Amino acid sequence: MSPLWTSAEIEDATGGTAGGTFDVTGVTFDSREVGPGDLFVAMPGTAFDGHDFVAKAFAAGAAGALVSRPVDGPHVLVADVPAALEALGRAARSRTAATVIGVTGSVGKTSTKEALFAALDRCAPGKVHRSVKSYNNHTGVPLSLARMPRDSEFAVLEMGMNHAGEIAALTRMVRPHVALITAIAPAHIENLGSEEAIADAKAEIFEGLEADGVAIIPHGTPHRDRLIRAAQGHADRIVTFGRGDADVHAVHAVTEGSGSLITAELLDRALTFNISQRGEHWVSNALGVLAAVEAVGADVALAGLALADMGGLKGRGARHTIPIEGGELLLIDESYNANPASMAATLKSLGQEPGVVRRIAVLGPMRELGAHEAALHAGLAEPVRAAKVDHLILIGEEMAPLAEAAGGAIAVDRVPDVDGATDRLLGIAQPGDAVLVKASNSVGLAKLVDRVVKGAPCFT
């Protein structure tokens, strides 16, 4: 197997000086993730400096290190480690013959990226590269590029942002052949000020499109025409997806078991397929995925089979059946992130859950909403009522507006933190309950999920 990088190639890409000859099979900047053969990138940081962990990385099997000061062991010495990582990412993009798909959006980008990976991997097994986790920022994107194997046929790379201009820089590094926006919602509105500004920031992804590039745009957003105008100066072709008269649209979609059965009209054919997740947002994600698969000329029928087999992702819809005295309950893990659109979508899905005795929503605050915070939290009351939620467990003072707006028809518990929410859930859970867990990632609701899933005997 050919190496991912040789020390000479790293030296050439970064302009650094090699201290020793070595080959690497992987790249990481997290010393906890280092495996045999990896290149450890010693990133500086506000709390920790990666150079302090170089010895630990070598002990874990790292084949070399990318550093800005001399270290014991094989390395490439550069003036600026973050700039060198970016240069390595650009070199990876320059040498690849892969068809590259870039994904962004206010909601659903990681789930869509994973679904695209699953779909394309069914078409080209073992030849598809993707961003891992949510590595979608100014360090995560070059890392994901640097990890791309030489022989990749497809690459799916996620791009995120907090401020205007960030995606413009990332997309020029990624240079996608296809650029997909999943949805526009008031995430990061504290920094950007309006949904229109959010749409403009997401539309920066089109600025990096390669010649003959394709822009894929959600049809249902009120900002569709704004996104289309932004794409027109960069894309050779624009494809919309969604309901109604979108280019790629659902003829019908019906709930079936724990997922949906969809008949879609694509550009060149119709396709009936299943997805293993519930909710209108997943119907939209699936249509965007198929639009991208069709755009790159891959097999949409195989992609449909992959979507049927794809389970929920940790923190993004994973479903856990938890044994409890007298039966079991369903825990829906949406703990990774939250904004008003994703909250409404997952609450709607909870409301459609069949065979449920009670619906419980454990909700924490949505962050980066700025002056809109109170109104947007209060605005969740309507989706909560529409979903027929029986019991709310709300975490933190930011959720007070929702507690007030929900009124007396719904049982509401206010708790200060995740531990309090976990204790309260353990105290009220009954057989037949469906429990939705959702908040911004910084709230840490994943701890509740881990405690409930791993400690199921505490119910009995």
Per-residue pLDDT tens over the stretch 140-179: 999 999 999 999 999 999 999 988 999 999 999 999 999 9
396 marked as binding residue:
no
For the chain, percent of residues with pLDDT exceeding 70: 98
pLDDT beyond 50 at 349:
yes
**Residue extents of the structural domains in the chain:** 5-78, 96-309, 318-455
| Res 456: pLDDT | 53
Least confident segment among 195-199, 312-316, 319-323, 326-330? 312-316
107 marked as binding residue:
yes
CATH code for the part of the protein at 5-78: 3.40.1390.10
Confidence band, pLDDT 50/70/90 cuts, at residue 220: very high
41 marked as binding residue:
no
CB of 66 closer than 8 Å to CB of 139: no
pLDDT beyond 80 at 190:
no
CATH code for the part of the protein at 96-309: 3.40.1190.10
Separation between Cα atoms, residue 435 and residue 284, nearest integer Å: 23
Separation between Cα atoms, residue 445 and residue 438, nearest integer Å: 7
Residue 334: what are its φ and ψ, rounded to 5°? -115, 35
| Res 460: pLDDT | 45
CB of 151 closer than 8 Å to CB of 177: no
| Res 368: pLDDT | 82
The secondary structure of residue 364, as a DSSP letter, is: -
Separation between Cα atoms, residue 237 and residue 324, nearest integer Å: 53
Tokens, residue 458: 């505490």
139 marked as binding residue:
no
31 marked as binding residue:
no
110 marked as binding residue:
yes
Burial class (CB in 10 A: 0-12, 13-18, 19+), 416: exposed
The secondary structure of residue 365, as a DSSP letter, is: P
Q: Which residue has the tokens 């500004």?
A: 197
State the chain's mean pLDDT as an integer: 93
Residues 285-312: pLDDT tens digits? 999 999 999 999 999 999 999 998 887 7
Burial class (CB in 10 A: 0-12, 13-18, 19+), 438: buried
CA 133 to chain centre: 7
Kindly report the pTM of this predicted structure: 0.80
Most confident region among 15-29, 246-260, 365-379 by mean pLDDT: 15-29
Separation between Cα atoms, residue 393 and residue 414, nearest integer Å: 6
Closest among 407, 404, 459 to 428, alpha carbons compared: 459
Residues 394-419: pLDDT tens digits? 999 999 999 999 977 799 999 999 99
| Res 188: pLDDT | 66
CATH 3.30.565.10 fits 318-455, yes or no: no
255 marked as binding residue:
no
